[in-house]
Amino acid sequence: MSWINSLMARSFGRKPKAAQNAQPNLVFAAPPAVREGAPAKKPLDAAFPRFQSMAGDQLSPRLNDRFASARIKLRSAFTPSQPITDRRMFAGRVDVLTTLIRSIEDQRVHVIMYGERGIGKTSLVHVLTRAAEEARYIVVYCSCGAGSTFDEIFRAVAADVPLLFHSGFAPTADASERGGTLADLLPATVLTPRLVADLFAKLTGTRVLVVLDEFDVCDSPEFRRNIAELIKNLSDRSIRTQLVIAGVAADLTELVEHIPSIRRNIFALQVPKMSATEVNHLVENGEELSGLTYDKAATEFIVFVANGSPYLASLLSHHSGLAAIDKGRTNVAVEDVSLAVDQALTEFRGRISRHSQLQIDHAAKTGVRHVLGVMAGAALFNNGRFDDRDIDALYPSAANAASFKATIEELASRQILLETHEDEYGRGYRFSEEAVLPYLWILAAQKRFLESRKPAATDKPAVPTTPDKAPVAEKAAAEKPADKPAEAAGATPRAAGRP
Ligand SMILES: Nc1ncnc2c1ncn2[C@@H]1O[C@H](COP(=O)(O)OP(=O)(O)OP(=O)(O)O)[C@@H](O)[C@H]1O
Ligand SMILES: [Mg+2]
């Protein structure tokens, strides 16, 4: 079963009882005394890699590294591979959360949250869950898997709702006293939306939020049809149960089929990328929790490369913090972020197919890689898509824009990293492989940021304008040697088609 059952979800962020009670001295029980006459053990090779902290988060007594504790704190201050479950680490999103709470509380609608991978949907869902629990909602979190079925999900949901909230059971009745749940009332036959709605119609004295996260992972049309039907049933009968659905999607219809029938009953929210201020907060929260300080320029570097992605911001903050600690510092400098960016690039490159890697390397030689990187920045939060309007916005000079469009068109026609793409917004381009986008973008952003710090003849080092603003791209274009024609990767040289 690939979805997390509600019990697991409810214990998010809490240590299991056993771990809470564990005595640190048990973890570090003294090694058995060496018997006299026993052959002396070879000392462990100090250089051999080993874990630096114990599984219970205590410092290893073998290590006298005074930064070991900073390292442990940093690990929980930035968790790039896990969603946020602790409100202290949750940055920004105040408007989004307010809107979500209002629609659940005031409009009593069901919520669908969609957006790009890593934009922060699950983190939002966790924080929303906490807020709802504070208001005594029963929240049941389910992470959908490829094989999730309506039946198994709603059996698990019902198992989390105590019978004492069923209008047919007095709080003192035997079954509710014994800790029974709504699941006890379900038939053995496969659950249908009507059956579930009939059961939840009996709820009294509470409200239930059913969170279906990673909804995109389960693409069974039957599952989606059942969910749409359930939303309709719950809404039509004003049942005290609301759904919160979250998943990766470019638009709403991609996430929920049969949407026309339930459009009035849902509030759909596309989770936006974070503002620079919000990413700044993300770094500040981590500073507070880890005890490290990030130099102003280091934070600016992180904010610039993150480009609104909490995932990238968390990843770079984490890696750069570790880089500083490795050098025996508790302040994070630009050079640490640079190392972090290199490390991220290695990670992202590993996710790209060999075929695309070769095309990217060729694009670097032919001078179009940076241009592709700038466009990747624009496409990063647009389902990997961009079109001529994005190029015009990035390259206001008509001559640059025209030659760039020609280069892009040629790359797409030869299916080099790009392909043409038609949708309701018209003709555009898409990166042929999702993993290529962050890689190309980070390369371009790193180059731009570091170049902007090189002292110019008269200028002080400046933070580059965000890459979706024209000046950066224009400057990049201007900085390219005018006599060096760019060429499409693998294509014939094209005069003036430079980034
Ligand atoms: N508001 C936030 N404050 C701080 N960090 C955040 C915030 N939102 C997300 N993050 C960080 O960004 C990363 C991605 O977040 P999350 O897993 O919530 O995204 P997601 O949209 O659910 O991703 P996926 O599409 O892969 O399911 C995580 O490392 C998380 O720690
Ligand atoms: Mg998620």
180-202 mean pLDDT: 92
Q: Which domain holds residue 332?
A: 285-349
The residues, any chain, with a CB within 8 Å of residue 211's CB and separated by 6 or more, are: 9, 125, 128, 129, 139, 140, 141, 142, 243, 244, 245, 246
In a domain, 383, yes or no: yes
Nearest to 202 by CA among 171, 173, 167: 167
Establish whether residue 272 lines the binding site of ligand 1, counting it when its CB lies within 6 angstroms of any ligand atom: no
**Residue closest by Cα to atom 6 of ligand 1:** 310
pLDDT at 171: 65
Is the domain of 304 the same as that of 374? no
66-94 mean pLDDT: 88
pLDDT at 56: 64
Q: Give the residue, 370 or 51, on which the prediction is more confident.
A: 370
Is the domain of 336 the same as that of 361? no
For 401-460, the pLDDT digits (tens) are: 888 899 999 999 999 999 998 888 889 999 989 899 999 999 999 998 988 887 765 444
Closest-lying ligand 1 atom to the alpha carbon of residue 127 = 1
Given the structure tokens 């570790």, which residue do they identify? 322
Is the domain of 144 the same as that of 222? yes
Percent of the chain whose pLDDT exceeds 90: 49
In a domain, 208, yes or no: yes
In a domain, 127, yes or no: yes
Given the structure tokens 């214990």, which residue do they identify? 11
Establish whether residue 373 lines the binding site of ligand 1, counting it when its CB lies within 6 angstroms of any ligand atom: no
Give me the CATH number covering residue 135. Answer: 3.40.50.300
Q: Give the residue, 497 or 91, on which the prediction is more confident.
A: 91
Residue 458, Cβ density class (10 Å: 0-12 exposed, 13-18 middle, ≥19 buried):
exposed
Rounded mean pLDDT of the chain? 80
Is the domain of 144 the same as that of 116? yes
**Residue closest by Cα to atom 29 of ligand 1:** 80
Is the domain of 253 the same as that of 318? no
Confidence of residue 39 (pLDDT cuts 50, 70, 90): low
Confidence of residue 366 (pLDDT cuts 50, 70, 90): confident
Is the domain of 137 the same as that of 162? yes
Measured in Å, residue 143 CA sits from the centre of ligand 2 at 9
Establish whether residue 308 lines the binding site of ligand 1, counting it when its CB lies within 6 angstroms of any ligand atom: no
Whether residue 217 is predicted with pLDDT greater than 50 in this model: the reply is yes
Establish whether residue 121 lines the binding site of ligand 1, counting it when its CB lies within 6 angstroms of any ligand atom: yes
Strands 331-332 and 110-115 turn out to be unpaired
Is the domain of 165 the same as that of 313? no
In a domain, 75, yes or no: no
Given the structure tokens 């989004």, which residue do they identify? 96
Establish whether residue 485 lines the binding site of ligand 1, counting it when its CB lies within 6 angstroms of any ligand atom: no
Nearest to 464 by CA among 484, 483, 485, 450: 450
DSSP-H helix ranges across 2-160: 6-10, 17-21, 24-27, 68-77, 94-105, 121-134, 150-158
In a domain, 234, yes or no: yes
Establish whether residue 80 lines the binding site of ligand 1, counting it when its CB lies within 6 angstroms of any ligand atom: yes
Estimate to the nearest angstrom the gap between the alpha carbon of 92 and the chain centroid. 14
For 219-261, the pLDDT digits (tens) are: 888 898 899 889 999 998 888 999 999 998 877 776 676 666 7
Measured in Å, residue 118 CA sits from the centre of ligand 1 at 5
Confidence of residue 53 (pLDDT cuts 50, 70, 90): low
- Residue to mutate (ligand 1; options 307, 314, 351, 437; most atoms within 8 A of CB): 314
Is the domain of 323 the same as that of 252? no
pLDDT at 403: 86
Whether residue 6 is predicted with pLDDT greater than 50 in this model: the reply is no
Nearest bound ligand to the CA of residue 126: 1
**Residue closest by Cα to atom 8 of ligand 1:** 120
Establish whether residue 90 lines the binding site of ligand 1, counting it when its CB lies within 6 angstroms of any ligand atom: yes
CB 223 within 8 Å of CB 184: no
Asked which of 19-33, 36-50, 123-137, 144-158 is least confident by mean pLDDT, the reply is 19-33
Q: Give the residue, 486 or 276, on which the prediction is more confident.
A: 276
Is the domain of 418 the same as that of 361? yes
pLDDT at 7: 31
Closest-lying ligand 1 atom to the alpha carbon of residue 271 = 21
292-321 mean pLDDT: 96
